[in-house]
Amino acid sequence: MTSTPMPDFPAGFRWGVSTSAYQIEGAATADGRGPSIWDTFAHSPGRIVDGSTGDEACDHYHRYAEDVALLAGLGVSGYRFSIAWPRIQPTGAGPANPAGLDFYDRLVDTLLAHGVDPVATLFHWDLPQALEDAGGWLNRDTAARFAEYADLVAARLGDRVRLWITLNEPFIHMSLGHGMGTHAPGRALLFDAFPVAHHQLLGHGLAVAALRARSTSPVAIANNYSPVRQAGDTDADRAAAAAYDALHNRLFTDPLLGRGYPDGFELSVVRPGDLDAIAAPIDVLGVNYYNPTAVRAAEPDSPLPFELVPLDGYPRTAFDWPVVPDGLRELLVDLKQRYGDALPPIQVTESGCAYDDVPDADGRVPDPERIAYLDGHVRAVHAAIAAGVEVTGYFVWSLLDNWEWAEGFTKRFGLVHVDYATQRRTPKASYAWYRDAVIRAGADPGPAR
């Protein structure tokens, strides 16, 4: 960790934190919420490492006021949360469930009352189970359903949400949820999962139109990116690295920014007009970054055209992910080089790390590795801005320790520790560090308070 003061960020830069509905809300059957694919998946034996579910998670549904107080104490100007589609449409279709909308209405008003911009993600992977039963994102109709849902949410919250994010990480939802089957809905289709890419992107494009019709707030999508490090030096390794880069970093961005799908991705489900709908202008590109990926040529009998290998030589998080802050600078600069003037301003919508944080005898939670991690990544964003990339926000994943998908409760990403037995929240050392060394240090001095 460095004690060098943070460099200045541009005026109006949005400092925030992120969460998602299924990971924190709990209250899985409250007020008419329907089941999602993650309820089904988590309740299927053997899917989650510790056998847990999101039934209760952090009980944020009932404790949101306490959690907003934590946000206010942090001094963030933005809070990225997601809206649970099955709270709004319990079966994925039809009129809105008023009680579901009421919850987010209360959350949004409480945020605004504390000076925190609500940043709402419409889809963070919790598809209503009824839509999955009809084919899920393999079914083109789900794109139209998503736009209807976006319309219902924007009709209620469109005057107060300050930034919309349509989808969270459609690449991860496609690859882990439908390609490998390690996330919900647990389908292991390998490359037969590609319709999920197109239908999510189409749903995004249709939702952008629906949001614009109801709300003047800017619209974004949050993509996951990973700079590719070529392992090995053969032509086959080079081809493997390029193939993985196209899959992870370009498949969901080239069409959004008007270039159509990368070569090699001739998706048979594309219909006339779809690419125009997908390329509807967005105001912000959300970038989620955790680590680079090392790639080499696959063995001849592999079903994949590449093999992912460990990236050695870096410290690692409790998730065993390498800590490479400069990868974030590299990624942001590469996006600018790749897309030039077609690239909208970027907000880093997720950046964070898991460590095995435990309260000490005094009840404090020291997490020096997280402070070092975030310090490095915030500086990497600054370096990208200095190199000419327009970055207008940074959100730490996550406000709270929470239910980390297939990892259950075993990975703690929060600035705030959660004791899941008591739901007690304890800000970690990184919470005070983010507040003091980043947010307050970067704020306009203004009159003394």
- 428-431 long-range contacts (CB < 8 A, ≥24 apart) are 428/357, 428/365, 428/366, 428/367, 428/370, 429/364, 429/365, 429/366, 429/367, 429/368, 429/371, 430/367, 430/370, 430/371, 430/374, 431/70, 431/74
Q: Which of 15, 61, 403, 405 binds ligand FCB (CB under 6 A)?
A: 405
In Å, how far from its chain's centre is CA 238? 29
Q: How far is the CB of 440 from ligand FCB (least distance, A)?
A: 26
Q: Which of 169, 357, 375, 401 binds ligand FCB (CB under 6 A)?
A: 169
- Say which residue the tokens 């005898």 belong to: 361
Nearest to ligand FCB of 20, 392 (CB atom): 20
Nearest to ligand FCB of 142, 168 (CB atom): 168
Does residue 342 belong to the site contacting ligand FCB (CB under 6 A)? no
Q: How far is the CB of 252 from ligand FCB (least distance, A)?
A: 13
SS3 227: coil
- Say which residue the tokens 């048979």 belong to: 268
x/- mask, ligand FCB, residues 15-54, rule CB under 6 A, reads -----x--x-------------------------------
Does residue 67 belong to the site contacting ligand FCB (CB under 6 A)? no
Which span sits near ligand FCB by CB under 6 A: 89-97, 167-175, 264-272, 378-386?
167-175
Q: Which of 397, 409, 431, 433 binds ligand FCB (CB under 6 A)?
A: 397
CA separation for the pair 87, 124 (Å, rounded): 13
How many chain residues touch ligand FCB (CB under 6 A)?
Answer: 12
Closest CA to 129 of 193, 81, 84: 84
Which span sits near ligand FCB by CB under 6 A: 93-101, 166-174, 211-219, 338-346?
166-174
Nearest to ligand FCB of 39, 169 (CB atom): 169
CA separation for the pair 73, 6 (Å, rounded): 20
Q: Name the catalytic one among 25, 148, 169, 369.
A: 169
> What b/e readout covers 221-249, taking b as 16+ CB neighbours within 10 angstroms?
bbbbbbbbbbbeeeeebeebbbbbbbbbb
Does residue 404 belong to the site contacting ligand FCB (CB under 6 A)? yes
Q: Name the catalytic one among 25, 148, 350, 404.
A: 350
Does residue 9 belong to the site contacting ligand FCB (CB under 6 A)? no
Query: Measuring CA to CA, how many Å separate 115 from each of 16, 66, 162, 437?
Result: 12, 15, 12, 20
Does residue 226 belong to the site contacting ligand FCB (CB under 6 A)? no
CA separation for the pair 128, 341 (Å, rounded): 37
Let me know if 169 is a catalytic residue.
Answer: yes
Does residue 132 belong to the site contacting ligand FCB (CB under 6 A)? no
Q: Which of 129, 168, 226, 347 binds ligand FCB (CB under 6 A)?
A: 168
Does residue 369 belong to the site contacting ligand FCB (CB under 6 A)? no
* Helix 194-214 with 141-157: angle, nearest 10 deg: 30
Does residue 121 belong to the site contacting ligand FCB (CB under 6 A)? no
Nearest to ligand FCB of 132, 350 (CB atom): 350
> What b/e readout covers 365-395, taking b as 16+ CB neighbours within 10 angstroms?
bebebbbbbbbbbbbbbbbbbeeebebbbbb
Does residue 401 belong to the site contacting ligand FCB (CB under 6 A)? no
Query: Measuring CA to CA, how many Å separate 142 from each of 41, 130, 133, 149?
Result: 19, 11, 11, 10
Nearest to ligand FCB of 168, 200 (CB atom): 168
- Say which residue the tokens 């209620």 belong to: 156
Cβ contacts of 268 within 8 Å, gap of 6 or more: none
Which span sits near ligand FCB by CB under 6 A: 165-173, 230-238, 328-336, 421-429?
165-173
Does residue 190 belong to the site contacting ligand FCB (CB under 6 A)? no
Nearest to ligand FCB of 17, 385 (CB atom): 17
Q: Which of 25, 148, 151, 350 binds ligand FCB (CB under 6 A)?
A: 350
Which span sits near ligand FCB by CB under 6 A: 151-159, 168-176, 177-185, 377-385?
168-176
Does residue 224 belong to the site contacting ligand FCB (CB under 6 A)? yes
CA separation for the pair 309, 318 (Å, rounded): 18
Q: How far is the CB of 23 from ligand FCB (least distance, A)?
A: 6
Closest CA to 410 of 52, 22, 38, 46: 52
How many beta carbons lie within 10 A of that of residue 113, not counting itself? 10
Let me know if 350 is a catalytic residue.
Answer: yes
- Looking only at residues 263 through 322 of this chain, which bind ligand FCB when binding is defined by CB under 6 A? 288
In Å, how far from its chain's centre is CA 373? 18
Q: Which residues are at the interface with ligand FCB (CB under 6 A)?
A: 20, 23, 168-169, 172, 224, 288, 350, 397, 404-405, 413
Query: Which are the catalytic amino acids?
Result: 169, 350
